[in-house]
Amino acid sequence: MTSNELRETFLKFFEDKGHRRVASASLIPANDPTLLFVNAGMVPFKDCFLGTDKRDYVRATSAQRCVRAGGKHNDLENVGYTARHHTFFEMLGNFSFGDYSKREAIKFAWEFLTEKLGLPEEKLWVTVFHEDQEAEDIWFNEMGINQERFSRLGEADNYWSMGDTGPCGPCSEIFYDHGPDVAGGPPGSPDEDGDRYIEIWNLVFMQFNRDKDGTMTPLPKPSVDTGMGLERMAAVMQKVHSNYEIDLFSDLIKSIAKILNVGDLNNKSLRVIADHIRSTAFLIIDGVVPSNEGRGYVLRRIMRRAIRHGHKLGATDAFFYQVVAALVKQMGDAYPELKEKSAHIESTIQREEEQFARTLDKGMKILAQSLEDMSGTVISGEVVFTLYDTYGFPDDLTADIAREKGLTIDQEGFDRLMKKQKETSKAAGKFGVDYNESLNIDTQTEFLGYDRFESEAKVVYLFKDNDAVEQLEKGETGVVITEKTAFYAEGGGQVGDKGILIVGDSKAAVFDTVKVNNAFAHKVKVLEGRLAQSDSVQLIVDEDKRSATAVHHSATHLLHSALREVLGNHVTQKGSYVDHERLRFDFAHPEAVSSDELALIEKRVNDEIRKNHAVSAEVMPMDKAKERGALALFGEKYGDDVRVLTMGDYSTELCGGTHVSRTGDIGSFKIIQESGIASGVRRIEALAGRAAVKFSQQQMALIQQLAHQVKSEPAKVSEKVEQLLHKTKELEKQLEKLNGKLASNRGTELVANAKDVKGIKVIAEELTGVDGKSLRDLMDQIKNKVGSGVVVLGVESKGKASLIAGVTKDLTDKIKAGDLVKHAAEFVGGKGGGRPDMAQAGGPNPEKLGQAISSVVPFIEQSIN
């Protein structure tokens, strides 16, 4: 049974049992910042288990693509070391959302395995959660299984949860015994980790929703989530002991071996590459881009691990991208998107390979040297960090290399150095080079500006350059730190506030506000008087700018929701910028957004503006925010309490920024540009409020001006321009004809004036008003008319000298056009050449054309002698 047949048999079996067949969802969980990737078949149904998503079916079956790397369920380290682990795999599953429960789940599973697939019962082994008497009774009394092949296990093995939070429950697992030839023991035995007994099916009896504190709330109704790894089951059906020997992998491995010129198909590195190309390709399809954070970093780690294994097998050039074609052949029918996006996948991989190639060799040498120098079996955190920081080796890649040599890495030491680096770069990045971490500020500024534009506070610190000072004089620039402020400090994409500080008659302009640790730093220039430490200052925000900024910030949230609505939930924020004049939003999306989609997105945002939703902010614990479905940038660290910004039912995001009170305040929204900024990352630039209106007015004015210029009216301007273009083309054609005629006349005239040089007719003339193309035509005509002779023409065109020489065929053994034009071109400072009968040249000195032409006759005289 091929893997494709197995997938179909499974889905069909459950369809016949009343389940709705549901297509695989994207690997990026929709609106679930708690999860890096879809890591199980149940993830897309999470809300169905929780009862918050009601669908028109209560039984479902799917073959869901899954990635287990970099999250709670992480198999990256095991790939290459076992026969059954993958970063990417397909999970076959059947689900009940409050419909059937344990009994039916167990019956369906047993029927499918023993009857539909015909597996002998004596090859199967069953486990249950040790407290789940009900499941045990069903297995023994109703299914009558052999009690010798049965184990009761604890929470680590038989209690399943999606992540730290979410639906969970006890489970019952079915194992397949690959026979005594394979090392390993039954579940629960000391050597259970071998490859002999392989878990093929996990039946989870979903009962609770676990929250962040571990509190278990019962689900509305007991449910079922089962998961069977397609690759593992295919190994059983194809009677092989390793997933890497099944049909889905064997051709892929052969292709990789061919690309890398490797003979041993059992080589571990080939398996790693075969596994990693699958996760790499599908993650790229779903909009992930290799980067240094979040999902992108997991992808980068997978890719670099594969590239390193290729390098180990002797690859000196980029090879990983070449594997895509083999994967498309293998899985393109089941996943058409793989075919459609193959060029994009290849180029993304190739770029990453090229980037990593620059440092891979060097890094490997550094590592080899460190290994030689070290004693013991643990590679130091410093070495791992240097490899990461300078050579782009993710720590797990170094750990993989270490493991091959029986070594480990000092993970803690590495993590410590990473943390330190993050802190340093954060401080430096936020504050620029002038005011860096040496400022050593411990103030915790309280932000008052959500509902006001003015405040009063004492100056706690004053800085000039990097030094704390007592006062700032008129004309000086520096930094003012206060304990409270109405000024918003740059963050979350929103620019820092501008405004003024006043103390008595003294006044300073605030040209930016940024955060340094927990302090708000006002960057100022003193305009009048001076500012001194301990002064009580009046802080006045430029209200007009702040309001216009809020308009753009709120519009950004609506845009984010509209993008997800129109393009899909794979759209995740990659960055944003908001100020009083415009907004910019970067997001993951694999291709350019079409103009129809842009028009729809713009319309949707304006619709939601007109609905005039109330905008509200509420501070709540992170888990509650997640429950509300708040959009958050994954990988960003949020404190326990977060600020959730809601716009009616249309947008819910974690955000610390300042916003309008109702969406109607935004007024108007206009997209002005869409572009790609990195592979898989798009950027939308847009305007809101006054800026949008102003833009529309400018556009309208432009059209009116155009209409006026072409003597038409705005509605007809396009038609008019079309006519004008048409007319211009016609005129150009006519002009060309006329030029031809003129040239022809000119030709006759020139032939009539030909000089006789030792019996050869020579025409050498400097012309005016002829362009380059006509010069050639003219040359051809003169040659035709003269029959036998030498012609040299020169013309000034666009500030440069153009020369052309022609010699009729009968004379080319005496004189060559190439030599002639080369000689003449020297006068105009140029070079040239060509065929014996026709040659052209150009030069920068058109004023010397006269001399060039005069030199022709003497040159011919000399050549003939």
Identify residue 221 by its one-letter amino acid code: K
CB-nearer residue toward ligand SER: 216 or 701:
216
CB under 6 A: which stretch of 219-227, 473-481, 719-727, 782-790 binds ligand SER? 219-227
Residues 65-84 that bind ligand SER (CB under 6 A): none
CB of 225 to ligand SER, least distance (A): 5
- Residue keyed to tokens 């500012």: 531
| Shortest separation between residue 148's beta carbon and ligand SER, angstroms | 25
Transcribe 320-377 into DSSP letters: GGGHHHHHHHHHTTT-HHHHHTHHHHHHHHHHHHHHHHHHHHHHHHHHHHHHHH--SS
Q: How far is the CB of 15 from ligand SER (least distance, A)?
A: 18
Q: How far is the CB of 331 from ligand SER (least distance, A)?
A: 21
Query: In the bound complex, what is the minimum distance in angstroms from residue 343's beta carbon to ligand SER?
Result: 33
Residues 330-389 that bind ligand SER (CB under 6 A): none
Span from 221-229, 277-285, 664-672, 679-687 in contact with ligand SER (CB under 6 A): 221-229
Smallest distance from the beta carbon of 170 to ligand SER, in angstroms? Answer: 12
Q: Which stretch binds ligand SER (CB under 6 A): 10-18, 36-44, 362-370, 485-493?
A: 36-44
Cβ of residue 233: shortest distance to ligand SER, in angstroms? Answer: 13
Based on CB atoms, which residue is closest to ligand SER, 32 or 225?
225
Closest contact distance (angstroms) between CB of 174 and ligand SER is 12
What would the 3-class secondary structure string for 86-135 be?
Answer: CCEEEEEEEEECCCCCHHHHHHHHHHHHHHHCCCCHHHEEEEEECCCHHH
Specify the residue, 82 or 202, whose C-beta has the smaller distance to ligand SER.
202
CA distances from 723 to 675, 700, 730 (A): 31, 21, 11
- Phi and psi (nearest 5°) for 385? -70, -45
* 150 in Cβ contact with 126 (< 8 Å): yes
The stretch among 15-23, 37-45, 505-513, 551-559 that binds ligand SER (CB under 6 A) is 37-45
| CB-nearer residue toward ligand SER: 206 or 767 | 206
- Which residue, 205 or 461, has its beta carbon nearer to ligand SER? 205
Contact 541, 453 (CB under 8 A): yes
Q: Which stretch binds ligand SER (CB under 6 A): 224-232, 313-321, 697-705, 798-806?
A: 224-232
Task: Provide the minimum distance between the beta carbon of 42 and ligand SER in the complex, in angstroms, as a whole number.
Answer: 5
First to last CA, the chain: 90
User: Which backbone phi and psi does 701 adopt, to 5 degrees?
Assistant: -60, -40
Region of 34-42, 244-252, 470-478, 697-705 interacting with ligand SER (CB under 6 A):
34-42
Tokens of 852: 């060039």
DSSP assignment of 453-481? SEEEEEEEEEEETTEE-SEE-TT-EEEEE
Query: Please, which residue, 204 or 524, has the CB nearer to ligand SER?
Result: 204
**How many binding residues for ligand SER (CB under 6 A)?**
10
Q: Between residue 225 and residue 244, which ones bind ligand SER under the rule CB under 6 A?
A: 225-227
**How many Å apart are CA 87 and CA 754, to the nearest integer?**
84
Least gap, CB of 652 to ligand SER (angstroms): 27
How many beta carbons lie within 10 A of that of residue 635, not counting itself?
15
Position 160 contacts ligand SER (CB under 6 A): yes
- Comparison of 82 and 646: residue with beta carbon closer to ligand SER: 82
Question: Closest approach of Cβ 43 to ligand SER, in Å?
Answer: 8
H or E stretch including 607? Answer: helix 595-610
Residue 45 or 139 having the CB closest to ligand SER: 45
Taking CB under 6 A as the rule, does residue 42 contact ligand SER? Answer: yes
- Beta strand ranges found along 256-317 (DSSP E): none
Q: What is the closest distance, in whole angstroms, from the C-beta atom of residue 232 to ligand SER in the complex?
A: 11
Chain residue at closest Cβ approach to ligand SER: 227
CB of 165 or CB of 651, closer to ligand SER: 165
**CA pair distance 387, 372, nearest whole angstrom:** 16
| Touching ligand SER, residues 756-785 (CB under 6 A) | none
Cβ proximity to ligand SER, 154 vs 432, nearer residue: 154
Q: Which is nearer to ligand SER, 202 or 774 (CB)?
A: 202
Shorter beta-carbon distance to ligand SER: residue 125 or 160: 160
Query: CB of 161: closest distance to ligand SER in angstroms?
Result: 9
Question: Of 68 and 613, which has the nearer Cβ to ligand SER?
Answer: 68
Distance CA 109, CA 228 (A): 10
87, amino acid identity: T
Which of these segments, 38-46, 415-423, 468-476, 527-535, binds ligand SER (CB under 6 A)? 38-46
Q: How far is the CB of 223 from ligand SER (least distance, A)?
A: 11
Smallest distance from ligand SER to CB 21, Å: 16
C-alpha–C-alpha distance, residues 488 and 482, integer Å: 13
Taking each continuous run of H as one helix and of E as one strand, the counts in the chain are: 24, 35
Asked if 551 and 661 count as a contact pair (C-beta separation under 8 A), the reply is no
Amino acid at 419: K
Pairing type for strands 800-807 and 790-797 reads: antiparallel
Least Å distance, CB 168 to ligand SER, is 9
Of positions 36, 40, 338, 601, contacts ligand SER by CB under 6 A: 40
Interaction with ligand SER in 443-502: which residues (CB under 6 A)?
A: none
Interacting span for ligand SER (CB under 6 A) from 35-43, 139-147, 385-393, 711-719: 35-43
Judge whether 770 and 798 are in contact, CB under 8 Å.
Answer: no
> CB atoms < 10 A from the CB of 97, how many?
25
Contacts for 158 with CB less than 8 Å, ≥ 6 apart: 127, 128, 129, 130, 132, 170, 171, 172, 173
- Reduced to 3 states (helix: H, G, I; strand: E, B; else coil), residue 756 is strand
What gap in Å lies between CA 447 and CA 496, rounded to an integer? Answer: 12
Say whether 485 sits in a helix, a strand or coil.
Answer: strand
Q: What 8-state DSSP symbol labels residue 43?
A: G
Question: Does residue 96 interact with ligand SER by CB under 6 A?
Answer: no
Nearer to ligand SER, 40 or 138 (CB): 40
Integer angstrom CA distances of residue 502 from 70, 446, 760, 800? 52, 19, 94, 64
Cβ-based nearer residue to ligand SER, 11 or 360: 11
Candidate list 29, 44, 93, 842; residue touching ligand SER; CB under 6 A: 93
793 strand-pairing partners: 765, 804
Stretch that binds ligand SER, among 40-48, 121-129, 313-321, 396-404 (CB under 6 A): 40-48
Pick 40 or 387: Cβ nearer ligand SER = 40
In the region spanning residues 397 to 416, those forming contacts with ligand SER, defined by CB under 6 A, are none
| x/- letters, 172..211, toward ligand SER (CB under 6 A) | ------------------------------x-x-------
- Reduce the DSSP state of residue 686 to 3 states and report it: strand
Tokens describing residue 354: 């090229």
Q: How far is the CB of 227 from ligand SER (least distance, A)?
A: 2
Cβ-count burial of 115 within 10 angstroms (0-12 exposed, 13-18 middle, 19+ buried)? Answer: exposed
Query: In the complex, what is the shortest distance from the CB of residue 66 to ligand SER, in angstroms, rounded to a whole number?
Result: 8
- Report the distance separating Cα 467 and Cα 833, nearest Å: 69
Which residues are near ligand SER by CB under 6 A?
40-42, 93, 160, 202, 204, 225-227
